[in-house]
Amino acid sequence: MVNVEKFIDQAVKQIRDAAGNDKVVMALSGGVDSSVCAALATRAIGDQLVPIYVDTGLMRKAETERIQSLFADANLRVVDAADEFFEALAGITDPEEKRKAIGEKFIRIFEREAKRTGATMLLQGTIYPDRIESEGGIKSHHNVGGMPLDIEFKGVIEPLADLYKDEVREVAGGLGLPAEIQHRMPFPGPGLAVRVLGEVTEEKIAVVREANAIVEECLVEEYHPWQCFAALIGLGTGVKGDVRLHGWIVAVRAVQSRDGMTADPLLLPYETLSRMATRITAEIPGVARVVYDVTPKPPATIEYE
């Protein structure tokens, strides 16, 4: 386990030494990793930090409004880049190519924003599992294997690169961050794009966003999963109102884990599964069926792509 006080002191020094007198731009998503980075950087360099929230159009329901409210006092710059991300993803079906396209777009946006603010350094919330999965070829994380090789920043600062997720949560507690942030479920950097199998479109994202919100409403408070979500995995036939439907198949995933390197599916009661499936098919017109994923990690990854 991490020595929290010692780590905080070392991370603050690392950020301060790396930044020098330069301004530092960072992506603040509202997750525990980026929030811890922001708190550490605020201690280290104060107003030299330029936090940016990029609305990719691939975020959870009401996420942008939540982030703006939660970090209202952080001088947060909000960039609406949904059109840019959908354009970058058009026609792409391969999971790795999706992640790389998203990583490329993130970097180009940060470079653009850095020029506007005079920032020359990039701060990222990369954690150890991100590095392991990217370097091991399991999947490219947008902030590691998905990053382009040609970046315009003088350097990249990654103070959490040797920590697991549970250790990051400990550091969040040591920094006094709100419990809402400290214990928030992981959400992938590429957003809902990796919860849509095949090409990403605005229609598919709208469906999976609503399904994801229903899953969280049904499971988070009662079962406290390490992670739970919905994914759009294809099309299937169904019947609604005595009319044949060729609609979306939604897969629900809910797991427990300590650090994300391994995970076990939650064995949910049938009544819960039935209630959740009924809500998803009733509230989202285009959904024909709902399935529940009981595969552990390994052999499956937690996310679908």
Going by the annotation, the residues of the binding site are 29-35
**CB contact set of 177 (below 8 Å; sequence gap of 6+):** 32, 35, 36, 39
Q: Are 211 and 241 in contact (CB under 8 A)?
A: no
Cis peptide before 95 (omega within 30 of 0): no
Q: What are phi and psi of 170, to 5 degrees?
A: -60, -45
User: For residue 142, how many C-alpha atoms fall within 13 Å in the half-sphere facing its CB?
Assistant: 22
Q: Are 49 and 38 in contact (CB under 8 A)?
A: yes
Token code pair at residue 49: 């930090």
Q: Are 266 and 223 in contact (CB under 8 A)?
A: yes
Nearest to 214 by CA among 78, 61, 2: 61
Rounded CA-CA distance 211/213 in Å is: 5
Q: Are 130 and 109 in contact (CB under 8 A)?
A: no
Token code pair at residue 157: 């600062």
Output the known binding site for ATP: 29-35
